[in-house]
Amino acid sequence: MYILLLITSILTATAKALVINNKTVICYGGPGTLPSTDLYNKHGDWNRTYHPAEPQQIHTSWVSNGKAIRVQFSTISSVENSRLHYWYDSDNDDVVYENLNWEFVDGGIAKKSQFMHTFTSKQLVPSTIYKYNIETTDKDQVFVSNTYEFHTPQEDAVSFKFLATGDLGVANAVSMPLFKELAQNHDYDFVAIMGDQGYNLDDFNGTKGDQYMNFAQDFYANVPLLTTAGNHEEAFDLMPYYESNFDNAMQYSIDYKSLHLISFATEVFFEGSDAQVQTSLQWLESDLIKASRRRAKVPWIIVIGHRPLYCSILSNPDCKENAETLRFGHSKQQGLESLLVKYNVDIGHKHNYERTFPVRNDTALTRSYHNAPSFFQVITGNAGNYEGGDVFDKDTEIPSWLGNRFQGYGFSTIEISPRHLDLHHYETHIDGTLGRLQDHVRVSKTACHINKQRIIRQD
């Protein structure tokens, strides 16, 4: 069984619509327009001027199954010295001076440059809350970031939780205040973002991307980030991807306890050449082969991507011809579904929340999630953005494979143990506070079923 995590958006009945570039939206801040201050972004450092040597856009990611952490940030100019200072008490602090840094030149007309910096910590103590800050020095001036904190995985815990969301910009980011609050609770080991951040990161010679990363800094600096590329991240460059044996940053995979998570760039089917599609699919199959061999130790496989293989708004091209392209490929050659079924993936996008039953060939194989015979898909793209979201069709028959859906703002959480996976989807109120639980499903598998999943299917 494979789990597919995807993203998309939703229009609210109370939102006042605008028409910008022939598209109906609820506020400015989308592609080609700058965001303005609203209820959800009024706090933070996204809309101020940084000193050229001051650290900004701080964010984190895990290294080696959570045994170390990678901290990344940028400066507008080159700096003489920089350091990562991290500690968990006054007698146990450490400093990392050596770091990877390079000049990044934006692909826009202005060719604006900034300097990227990456630190990797030493091995960390399990089950511990660390604090850290970044310090840069240039021409006798010292700049110190705010102090952030993260927690390391519990060494002997059989389960862990992570956040799953997507389609989030600076404007109308309804769930972001709640995300920043959740980051302080240390309940979630990382956040998986399924694409479409910032709208668009390359706008205004990269200024929009800088604003977004500074807006999200209080979230991403405290909770390690895993992301995938959507259609609003197709320009220029992404990183990091070094540990996944792929030649660019569009896709990667990691192991984390009992989970193998794969980030696959679905945009290749729409923006890439036939050769690029085949290269991506060959990498995915190679990665799934390796994951199948480790199934006894890492029983769950989740693929995150931006576009959906299935969605219920059948009047939308993303749910008809585009979804069919992802499932079957161009000219019926090869798409994603055959690989997900062949390698027994467990879970496997649009602006709302949807959950399918275990599905294959546009048909629900069962309504049970115990020892399921195929993958199911989750769309969780309703965190909040300038579009508001997608409206469900009123007069269209609901597909038989649809398990549940929710038209409102929200986010998902996933808790994983060796035998169970619990998916929850929570509503976010329009004032940015936590709403009701809208969906919950438990996926389970026996040791015998896990052993069968190691066998590559030939049907």
Domain-by-domain residue ranges, the chain? 3-49+155-453
Cα 325 to Cα 376: distance, rounded to the nearest angstrom: 18
Q: Where are the beta strands (DSSP E) in 97-140?
A: 100-105, 113-120, 129-138
In the Cβ-directed half-sphere of 189, how many Cα atoms lie within 13 Å?
Answer: 23
Give the per-residue pLDDT at 18: 62
- Please report, for the chain, how many H helices and E strands are present, in that order: 8, 26
Confidence bin at 209 (pLDDT 50/70/90)? confident
CB-based contacts of 222: which residues, under 8 Å, 6+ apart?
60, 148, 149, 150, 183, 184
Give the per-residue pLDDT at 334: 84
Confidence bin at 23 (pLDDT 50/70/90)? low
Residue 282 has pLDDT above 90, yes or no: yes
Mean pLDDT of the chain: 85
Give the per-residue pLDDT at 332: 63
Selection from 457, 456, 191, 444 nearest residue 299 by Cα: 444
Residue 107 has pLDDT above 90, yes or no: no
User: 289: which DSSP letter?
Assistant: H
Q: What are the two backbone dihedrals, phi and then psi, of residue 363, each rounded to the nearest 5 degrees?
A: -135, 135
Cα 403 to Cα 396: distance, rounded to the nearest angstrom: 16
Selection from 4, 28, 14, 5 nearest residue 386 by Cα: 28
Note whether 224 and 189 are within 8 A (CB): yes
Give the per-residue pLDDT at 20: 60
Task: Copy the structure tokens of residue 351.
Answer: 């602006």
Give the per-residue pLDDT at 248: 55
Note whether 223 and 191 are within 8 A (CB): yes
Q: What is the pLDDT of residues 170-198, one digit of tens each?
A: 888 899 999 999 999 999 999 998 866 76
Residue 121 has pLDDT above 80, yes or no: yes
Note whether 175 and 432 are within 8 A (CB): yes
Lowest mean pLDDT segment, chosen from 9-18, 176-185, 270-279: 9-18
Cα 104 to Cα 111: distance, rounded to the nearest angstrom: 9
Other C-beta atoms lying within 10 Å of the C-beta of residue 450: 19
Tell me the average pLDDT across 274-284: 91
Task: Copy the structure tokens of residue 45.
Answer: 């450092």
Confidence bin at 222 (pLDDT 50/70/90)? very high
The one-letter amino acid code at 96 reads V
Q: What is the pLDDT of residues 390-439, one digit of tens each?
A: 678 777 788 999 999 998 899 999 999 999 999 999 999 999 999 999 99
Selection from 200, 191, 165 nearest residue 349 by Cα: 165
**At the topology level of CATH, where does 3-49+155-453 sit?**
Purple Acid Phosphatase; chain A, domain 2 (3.60.21)
To the question of pTM greater than 0.85 for the whole model, the response is: yes
Cis amide leading into 200 (omega within 30): yes
Tell me the average pLDDT across 49-72: 93
Confidence bin at 238 (pLDDT 50/70/90)? very low
Per the listing, tokens 């898909």 go with: 377
